[in-house]
Amino acid sequence: MKIAGRPYRTIWPRADGAIEVIDQTRLPHEFVTEVLTSADDCARVIKTMVVRGAPLIGAAAAYGVAFAMRTDASDAALQAAILMLGATRPTAVNLHWALRRMEQHLAPLSPAARAAAAWAEAAAICDEDVEVCRRIGEHGFACLKTAAAKKATGPLNILTHCNAGWLATVDWGTALAPIYMAHDAGLAVHVWVDETRPRNQGASLTAYELGAHGVPHTIIADNAGGHLMQHGRVDLCIVGTDRVTRNGDVANKIGTYLKALAAKDNDVPFYVALPSSTIDWQLASGRDIPIEERSAEELLQMSGRLSTGEIVRVAIAAPGSPGANPAFDVTPSRFISAFITERGVCAASEEGLKSLFPQESE
Ligand code: MRU
């Protein structure tokens, strides 16, 4: 997607052998990139959320393995890199999907062949992610067209939570890809952007992306969605996900579950957009998904830009009060209208997933 007219991916290889990423902790106030030169760098940017979003975490981890293979391509170094990178964030399964793919590709090769092969495989993971997201966009766009055809007047009002746009993937995004395609094709859309406390990925990243692409949108407090749905001001919801279990339960950014509950109560379709790399066939249900607990500081403090341009961090809570910060929640499959994947749209159930991905489920 484009920033100030220049096309970007979120992660790209440089001619000098390094990797460059967009620093998402500085958005929307500053567009800054960071150059990565080691597996440790890749692990650090995933942990600190310089890069975030399930598919992008996987892509960054793949490059982490590629860097590790440049230094030491032994079996032991491969396993150590996979272990180190796999411990960076617990909920997004794309991380483990990418690491497993790197391992399966590299382990059978001789150590001498691994560095070049690892680099090529990480690049392939990125290229495939772009294509997969583009296809999610096409399938999702068909859903949006159908929904729009049922409306007499006005734009299609879509609610989204967190950031599942191009910044969360290599390009296009998952939940936002259909919206970009609809907008580009001239379908009138308007996006309600949940601010997504405590880190505000909605207000700072989704709104930034949509604004840069010219998509009409409005930032709302996380708690406003239910009210808007009761008043007929949301036509459908689309969110991304960090892990889908075999039965169709979905882990996504904290607060997603409450939106799905409100959508059910108000007969608002609730779609989840996902690449197949987000399906965890090993886990039977959402109860088994590890939920990341992050620092309470993210809740008790906030950063923002002063009118002078200075970016500051301020305390917002009663001094001394403790905070708890579970970063994801699980939406049971019964609240999900359908999945939008790279292979098409299916029911949020084991049967639905298997109908599109029969081989992968074995
Ligand atoms: O903690 P984050 O910002 O990595 O969480 C991201 C999300 O919850 C996204 O909705 C999810 O990764 C889907 S990204 C296409």
Distances (CA, A) of 72 to 17, 30, 112: 16, 36, 10
Q: What is the pLDDT along the chain (362 residues), one digit of tens a residue?
A: 889 889 999 999 999 999 999 999 999 999 999 999 999 999 999 999 999 999 999 999 999 999 999 999 999 999 999 999 999 999 999 999 999 999 999 999 999 999 999 999 999 999 999 999 999 999 999 999 999 999 999 999 999 999 999 999 999 999 999 999 999 999 999 999 999 999 999 999 999 999 999 999 999 999 999 999 999 999 999 999 999 999 999 999 999 999 999 999 999 999 999 999 999 999 999 999 999 999 999 999 999 999 999 999 999 999 999 999 999 999 999 999 999 999 999 999 999 999 999 988 87
Which atom of ligand 1 is nearest to 94's Cα? 12
Question: CA 163, CA 153: separation in Å to the nearest integer?
Answer: 28
Please choose from 253, 272, 328 the residue to mutate so as to test ligand 1's pocket, defined by most ligand atoms within 8 A of CB: 253
Question: CA 357, CA 304: separation in Å to the nearest integer?
Answer: 43
Centre of ligand 1 from the C-alpha of residue 30, in Å: 21
Which atom of ligand 1 is nearest to 57's Cα? 4
CATH 3.40.50.10470 domain locations along the chain:
137-356
Centre of ligand 1 from the C-alpha of residue 152, in Å: 33
> Which pLDDT score, from 0 to 100, does residue 293 have?
98
> Which pLDDT score, from 0 to 100, does residue 330 have?
98
Contact (Cβ atoms closer than 8 angstroms) between residue 157 and residue 229: no
> Which pLDDT score, from 0 to 100, does residue 81 have?
98
Strand partners, 311: 305
Give the distance from CA 94 to its chain's centroid. Answer: 10
> Which pLDDT score, from 0 to 100, does residue 5 have?
87
DSSP string, 286-313: GGGSPPPB--THHHHEEEEE-TTS-EEE
Centre of ligand 1 from the C-alpha of residue 313, in Å: 23
Contact (Cβ atoms closer than 8 angstroms) between residue 313 and residue 217: no
Which amino acid, 247?
N
Which atom of ligand 1 is nearest to 328's Cα? 8
Q: What is the CATH code for 137-356?
A: 3.40.50.10470
> What residues are in contact with ligand 1 under a 6 Å CB criterion?
52-55, 92, 162, 164, 168-169, 173-174, 201, 240-242, 252-253, 327
As annotated, the active-site residues are: 242
Question: CA 313, CA 304: separation in Å to the nearest integer?
Answer: 7
> Percentages helix, strand, coil for the chain, rounded to the nearest 5?
45, 20, 40
> Which pLDDT score, from 0 to 100, does residue 141 have?
98
> Which pLDDT score, from 0 to 100, does residue 362 have?
78
Domain 2-128 listed as CATH 1.20.120.420? yes
Centre of ligand 1 from the C-alpha of residue 150, in Å: 30
Residue nearest to atom 5 of ligand 1 (CA): 53
Which amino acid, 357?
F
> Which pLDDT score, from 0 to 100, does residue 1 have?
85
CATH 1.20.120.420 domain locations along the chain:
2-128
Residue nearest to atom 15 of ligand 1 (CA): 164
Which amino acid, 265?
D
> Which pLDDT score, from 0 to 100, does residue 307 have?
94
The total number of residues written for the chain in this structure = 362
